[in-house]
Structure 1
Amino acid sequence: MLKNDEIKILKFLFDDLNNNPTMRNVSMSLKQKYPQTFKTIKNLEKNGFIILNEIGKSKVIHLNFSKDNLYYICVEIERTEDLCKKNMEMLIIKEKLKDCGNFVSLIFGSHAKNKNLKGSDIDLLIIIPDEKEVEITNKKIKNALSLYNIDLNIISEKSLFEMWENKRELNVGNEVLKNHYVLTGFETYINYLRKKYGR
């Protein structure tokens, strides 16, 4: 069972999957005392949740995607619950998406950064297993979410991995690594990350 401090750090690491912070970065970002952060990170490393790599005198933190980890799914679910508590609209969208099919859906952009203005469109990425389903999925989601200002992006799993291969390219695949909330398909999304980052 994860402790609150451990969950807090894992949530922070999931906020930006491209960011590989040092212990000091984590301590400062979470406004924690360094010894407390150090101890928590060492426990996470000991239990296989993270990997520490030495770069100079600093230790850089990476999530450990080399093995299946149910706690990662729980952390992503908890992050989304936190978002839905602050933004009821996201909870409604999440529930409507569940009825549209079996796929991964993620919020990204200004709503994921909590920098959205009133009337800002909601950037939504849908990842489907097969490209042939794009048109049907598009219709279902547009009907279900017609009352919302949605910028809908639907891609196949194959397209997602192609985007991730081009790390420097500005695309939705890379953008969701920097800031996202999973609305549906938590386990599948973690499996995508395992394929991308698994060491």
Structure 2
Amino acid sequence: MKTVILACLIASAAAFVPAGQTDRTTLALHADLTKEIGAQAPLGFFDPTQSLGADPTNGDQADFDRRRWVELKHGRIAMLAVVGYLSTYVGYRFPGAEDLPCGFANLAEVPGMVWAQMIATWGMMEAANQDQSQAPWGTDAGAQNFKAEFIGDFRNGALDFGWDERSDAWKRKKRTIELNNGRAAMMGITGLMVHDIMGNVDQLLPDWIQKY
């Protein structure tokens, strides 16, 4: 709990595990991937290695959905990591951890009990942030009434904030914003980690950000 960046980095490993859920709006085995969320200007659909097939207008939808979930989960973790790194960098700490450093320097300072607490927290987060109508969570008959609308939809009948009342265009815009913010955050946390190891994060961040 004492360093959010460490928690996010280790938790990101789980993002490589196939999610096992499909997008409710795209059930075709083959589909035009150039129309998916995230394929936008200036690059459009960008797959330089053609890992999804030579013809993106007739791509493997199931494989794309799996990769999209991996990208989305990495992005969410990266957004938390960036905020956590910057928060600890400027000096915010949990009570009792005021003297701990930030970044990788914290690895050798975190007590064993805190590691146990972090691992338990990651497990609970993994269990909660899933489509509860899917196996192995779909044992509750009530969960079947709240099947995910799209990949990454973990509302499960709660915390809707009026989503269902919005237009399809508004929903697509918000999902695009989240995806792009996640992409930027993955680049951001990678840069912060590299400069943390190099010991010159202070040269990367603005002058008004004072290191703890």
**TM-score, with normalisation over the residues of structure 1?**
0.28
Q: Per residue, is there more strand in 1 or in 2?
A: 1
Q: Which has the higher contact order (CA 8 A, sep 6+)?
A: 2
- Structure whose CA Rg is larger: 2
- Taking structure 2 as the reference length, the TM-score comes to 0.27
